[in-house]
Amino acid sequence: MNIVWWIVIVTAIAGICGTGLGGLVGAILRRDSAKVVSLLLSFAGGVMLAVVCFDLIPESLLPEGAEEPVALYIVIFGILLGYGIVFLLNHFIDRATNHEIAHIDAGHPKTADDLDELIHSDHLEEHMKTGQFRDLFIGGIVMACAIALHNMPEGMVIGASFAGAPAGVFTGSGFILAIVIGLHNIPEGMAVSVPLITGGMSKTKAVIVTAASGAPTIIGALIGYGLGLLSPVWLALSLSFASGAMLYVVFGELIPEAILMWRSKLPAFFLLVGTVVGLLLVNV
């Protein structure tokens, strides 16, 4: 099978199935699973960090097919661009959802510090007091659109990684990142499905809408892969962009949410475990 089709299949599993699985979990969620989610986020963050530091950035400095190293400023520009774009997308998501209820104010943490906040079931409790379920439903739709937009650069991460290691589909960082991004998409899927279901949508339709919000991951993967094939410089830009995007996901989302969600030493330990596992996966 052509590698492009493999990339589509792998990315669809990471984007659509990962987000859809989160939607399904959100439909049948047990509230006491915050510790499990915390450790999952920590482990995923560690694997991402290892892949970025030990594979993507070194590969962007000396990409496949280049006769000499790419200028360092090009790599730095790509990292800053990837970080900045994902930051702005997450800022849009926050502004689109956090204004729903009055309890989110200047003194409220901007990062979810428990599972209820991460999946917006705290919003449900506030809306139950006022009966404003329509606003919650609209918030779920906005979240689905925002997550769909957010998933495109994550797809570019996968596509660029495949372009940087064209030897095989199941070897190299592309496949590893697809798995880790799929895990990362589970809490995001929960954040979409919970307000949709509590806003009146059936569980089946909510899970379908949630899974569909992961579809842009495929578009992003094709763009990242195509850009990476243009030239060594474009491959360096694609890989460094992917690195910056993943660094924001790790340091701006996964680690803060994991530690705030379960204030213990275990999230930090699972971050280390994930980093070691990522290092092994990159080098084995």
Q: In this structure, what DSSP letter does residue 13 have?
A: I
- Determine the pLDDT at residue 158: 86
Q: Which contiguous run of DSSP H or E holds residue 218?
A: helix 216-228
- Determine the pLDDT at residue 112: 54
- Determine the pLDDT at residue 129: 58
Q: How far is CA 183 from the centre of its chain?
A: 8
- Determine the pLDDT at residue 77: 95
Instruction: For residue 155, count other CB atoms closer than 10 A to its CB.
Output: 29
The structure's pTM equals 0.72
- Determine the pLDDT at residue 100: 47
Residue 200 has φ and ψ, to the nearest 5°, of 120, -10
Please give the Cα distance from 211 to 169 (Å, whole number). 24
Please give the Cα distance from 199 to 195 (Å, whole number). 6
Q: What are 129's two structure tokens? A: 């007091």
Q: Which domain holds residue 185?
A: 3-283
Give DSSP secondary structure letters for 229-284.
TT-HHHHHHHHHHHHHHHHHIIIIIIHHHHHHHS-SSHHHHHHHHHHHHHHHHHH-
Please give the Cα distance from 250 to 244 (Å, whole number). 10
Burial of 240 per CB tally in 10 Å (0-12, 13-18, 19+): buried
Instruction: For residue 90, count other CB atoms closer than 10 A to its CB.
Output: 17
Please give the Cα distance from 105 to 136 (Å, whole number). 18
What is the tally of structural domains in the chain?
1
Q: How far is CA 284 from the centre of its chain?
A: 25
Please give the Cα distance from 121 to 169 (Å, whole number). 38
pLDDT mean for each 10 residues of the chain (284 residues): 83 89 76 70 87 88 77 92 87 61 50 53 55 59 70 84 71 79 80 72 85 89 88 87 88 82 86 91 77
